Structure 1
């Protein structure tokens, strides 16, 4: 991915080192990290992750991923992030995920950003099926999946021990043809 994606209010682009303050503001927040696979991070941990993620810009082989900053076009502030990982080249499947600063919840930014990412994945990368894995307690992400036209395909009960407790995982997915039908 060499060029940012633009929506009405957002720019989706590769993360950069100068995003540190904005990303640290939510990755260090316990509420923002509640359903993420990591505990709140230190400033140094965020810096180290940014160093790694900012170098990832290719989706060619299974396991390749992008971490995209969700940047406000109005304020230039990073509001959150998107995750896109190529799962299989044979099956043309990919995983998506998102995290948003709690102050930005309820404003439609996650839906706007995720919709643009799905457009990119289906139209430019040639993905056939996109799925999201989320903690079943994360009702906001489940609602977002539904708004995006994703259906719940699976529920795994107590499949992960995370942050000191057993958690259950829901899988949501949408196919290329389903996405195209919604867009027309």
Structure 2
């Protein structure tokens, strides 16, 4: 079980539960075609963003496997919502999980996504005592692949044309890191 002590602070970011006040900021991110490009969904309209936000607001702790912890990511200096991160708890028996993230492209290239993803790994390994954490991505998303590699995650699988996403066959690439590998790096 994981009930983080909020807010979670990194060098430049605050990770916290989503609130209804995040609707405008989340819409500014989720409505962009370049954000949705490698995701399962098309750019979201305001009602779809509201529905997604309502779900994220409830995802504040991991009490049992199969749940997700959703965190708003804001710049500490300005309070601006710049993205969101998620930690999935897949299996208690196998102590496995997965991280994911979405960031506004206007904040790309500054290391914010890496900083937030590191915090998600720390939550998984130190907070939930996971043994293994994965990251999955569309095979065309080279920026996300580089981010996972910066975190010390290894590329373990490249599944060729394994899913139809938005009407086209796409590759999926899977990265992973073990708790002992994470601890050796930190």
By the TM > 0.5 criterion, same fold? Answer: yes
- Residue of structure 2 equivalent to 1:44: 47
Q: Which consecutive residues of structure 1, in runs of 5 or more, have no partner in the other structure?
A: none
Q: May I ask how many residue pairs the two structures share in their alignment?
A: 183
**Unaligned regions of 5+ residues in structure 2, if any?**
none
1:171 paired with 2:171, answer: no
Give the Cα separation in 2 of the matches to 1:23 and 1:88: 29
Which of 81, 95, 98 in structure 1 is aligned with 2:98? 95
Q: Please report the RMSD computed on the Cα atoms of aligned residues, expressed in angstroms.
A: 0.9
Q: Quick check: 137-146 or 117-126, which moved more?
A: 117-126
Could you tell me the TM-score, scaled by structure 2's length?
Answer: 0.96
Find runs of 4+ consecutive structure 1 residues off by over 4 angstroms.
none
**1:76 correspondence with 2:70:** no
TM-superposed CA distance for 1:56, in Å, is 1.6
**Secondary structure in 1 aligned to 2:164?**
strand
Decide whether the 8 Å contact of 2:86 with 2:120 is kept in 1: no
* Alignment match, 1:4: 7
User: Quick check: 2:60–2:71 contact (8 Å CA) kept in 1?
Assistant: no
Give the drift of 1:139.
0.3
Give the structure 1 partner of residue 146 of structure 2.
143
